[in-house]
Amino acid sequence: MRWIVLLLVSIVLALSFFAYDSLSPIKETIQVHLQFSSTDYGLLVSVYSIPNTILFMVILGGIFADRWGIRKTGLAAALACVLGAVITAYGASDLFVRGGLGHTFLSSFLPRFSAPLKMMVLGRFFFGLGAETLNIVVLKILVKWFKGRKMAFAFSLMTIIARMGTAAVLILSPVLIEAKTGWATSLWVSAFLMLLGFLLLLVYLSFDRRYPEAAKENADDFRSRDIVALLKNKSFLFICLLCVMFYSAFFPFLSFLPDLLHNKFQLSLRLSGALSSLMIWGTIVFIPIVGWFVDNKGKIASLLLYGSGMLFFSHLVLAKTSLTPYLAIVVLGLAFTLVPAALWPAVPRVVDEKRVGTAYGIMTWTQSLGILAFPYLAGRITDLSNPGVGLEEVQSGRAFLDYSNTSLMFAGLGIMSFLFALLLKREDSGKSGFGLQLPEKRVR
């Protein structure tokens, strides 16, 4: 039963990843057809995190998952994802651009921003409203089915399946933009797949009701002092801070990576997307090995330290050298294998299971702060680093964007990630440590 649950919820997460990353491989196409600057594109990526940071939705989502359970919370989150994906696709479509429903209204205010940008921002807002909470629901599902039963390995398998969504969209989107139905077909496909994910979640929920004892939840009333206790937990705080630095240097960067490869190395859009997907496919191969290692050997803090160091190295190579991009991408893929495989299973080791949803909510909120800020900053730095370089020049091949300063910003985040990994390992070696270096059976 556990493995069927794992498969179902992992596919749901993979389809949400497909929808989230649907913009990155077609950045230039979006800019050309909708006349977006890199700053506009960065805003479109960043707005995803507004409901989870400014509105604290992801923390509330974790609390809801703990108090109301995964059924109600999961359905509401998945429905918001579907709505957001549909609105995003509609905002990019010819139907809307040529004066469709809502175009006149959105054109009536904030003239600095175009109506398509506003509609797509609205869609990404709704998608962000549900996506991170859906992620927490999936994590909580796996904790309650797998805690004490090779949990890190289960998390690794979930990550493999989920990342197939990212890898698939990096390859498929550059192909789908050439469809006879128009370039926005790629975004409509993302919306359809998100709807499929919602339907698969319904299948899991019927399964969950059929086996209530096997899937028993430790629900309890929420108390504000639970958050205070979490914030006093130094190990948990270091995990959160490491999380925001590491993921801020990865996911926002991934939104710019195909365009970086296209401009710095003059690769085609298709090849840039396929090359970007290599690090995802690499993690698919190696992450179950790391998950098995965490369960049986431990060394969580050490793995976080090594992965953070690799992250810094890969960004520095892209920023300051002309070495083949394969080297940086392989190293970045290794980093994204080690850190997530160790980071997320670390949380149930340092917090009580009844509060794991709230803990994941706080952790994801800190992560969302970075995902909110750094795509916009990356877009802004890219624009400022390329004064006078227009879209027509880039598209025609007469000029190429310089991403050196943007990559240096991400390298700085890698340094901070390494620092917090070092502090976590030092804290765990003290008397108050939770045994992050120990194998799972010795912790239990």
Q: 2-212+223-443 sits in which CATH class?
A: mainly alpha
Choose among 57, 34, 53, 54: nearest CA to 44. Answer: 34
If pLDDT is split at 50, 70 and 90, which confidence band does 432 have? low
CA–CA gap between residue 76 and residue 142 (Å, rounded): 19
Inter-axis angle of helices 2-20 and 185-210, nearest 10: 160
Q: Is 247 within 8 Å of 370 (Cβ atoms)?
A: yes
As a whole number, mean pLDDT of residues 291-307 equals 91
CA–CA gap between residue 24 and residue 371 (Å, rounded): 14
More confident residue, 381 or 143: 381
pLDDT digit string, tens, across residues 323-378: 888 889 989 989 988 998 899 889 988 888 778 888 888 998 888 888 888 988 99
Choose among 194, 43, 15: nearest CA to 116. Answer: 43
Q: What angle do CA 398, 403, 404 make, to 5 degrees?
A: 125
More confident residue, 191 or 429: 191
Q: What is the pTM of this model?
A: 0.74
Average pLDDT across the chain, whole number: 87
Choose among 12, 8, 16: nearest CA to 191. Answer: 16
- Residue ranges per structural domain of the chain: 2-212+223-443
First to last CA, the chain: 23
Judged by average pLDDT, the poorest of 182-196, 293-307, 337-351, 422-436 is 422-436
